[in-house]
């Protein structure tokens, strides 16, 4: 799935940083600890006008040449969808939905010594009315 107009944020084992300039209608909180055994929590705010919002999943070090290679949805969103696209978890709310949603994912990536690591992220989503 290729999404146009996706805003994204980098989520790495240590720190998440903005990946693209802030795009209207999408924001994701900076996050630490995705590579820790317990994972991490993040928040996302997205406009309910059909736009997608993405979390870019990177290993350690957090560099674009080190993207996640696979993703599993461990808790799907109740009011939208989340899909893996080129190292990113892409969320899109169902048409007409506004309110709270959320999802959890695990992603496979590489660590500092090229060892396999698993990134675990739980995302609380707020979908605003269009």
Whole-number Å distance between alpha carbons of 9 and 26 = 10
> Measuring CA to CA, which residue among 98, 3, 82 is closest to residue 46?
98
Q: Is the dihedral of CA 34, 37, 65, 102 positive or negative?
A: negative
The answer to the question of residue 67 being in a domain is yes
The answer to the question of residue 2 being in a domain is no
The answer to the question of residue 1 being in a domain is no
Count structural domains, the chain: 1
Contact 18, 1 (CB under 8 A): no
The answer to the question of residue 47 being in a domain is yes
Helix (H, G, I), strand (E, B) or coil at 76: coil
pLDDT band at 80 (very low <50, low <70, confident <90, very high): very high
Phi, psi torsion values for 129, nearest 5 degrees: -65, 145
What domain range includes position 55?
7-128
The answer to the question of residue 112 being in a domain is yes
Model confidence, pTM: 0.81
- What CATH number is attached to the domain comprising 54? 2.60.40
Give the pLDDT confidence of 1-57 residue by residue, as tens digits. 334 444 444 444 433 433 433 467 899 987 778 999 999 999 999 998 888 999 989
pLDDT exceeds 80 at position 90: yes
Average pLDDT over residues 77-96: 95
The answer to the question of residue 34 being in a domain is yes
> Measuring CA to CA, which residue among 114, 117, 91, 115 is closest to residue 106?
117
Place of tokens 């317990």: 38
User: What is the per-residue pLDDT for 23?
Assistant: 60
Contact 108, 27 (CB under 8 A): no
Q: Is the dihedral of CA 69, 74, 75, 79 positive or negative?
A: positive
Give the pLDDT confidence of 101-125 residue by residue, as tens digits. 999 999 999 999 999 999 999 999 9
β-strands 80-85, 26-28 pairing: unpaired
């Amino acid at each position: 799935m290729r999404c146009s107009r996706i805003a994204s944020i980098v989520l790495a084992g240590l720190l998440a940083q903005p990946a693209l300039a802030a795009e209207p209608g999408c924001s994701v909180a900076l996050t630490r600890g995705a590579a820790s055994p317990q994972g991490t929590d993040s928040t996302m705010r997205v406009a309910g006008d059909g736009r997608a919002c993405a979390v870019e999943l990177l290993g350690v070090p957090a560099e674009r040449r080190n993207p996640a290679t696979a993703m599993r949805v461990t808790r799907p969103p109740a009011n939208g969808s989340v899909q893996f696209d080129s190292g990113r978890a892409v969320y899109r709310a169902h048409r007409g939905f506004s309110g709270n949603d959320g999802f959890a994912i695990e992603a496979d990536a590489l660590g500092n010594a090229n060892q396999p690591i698993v990134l675990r992220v739980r995302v609380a989503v707020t979908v605003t009315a269009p």
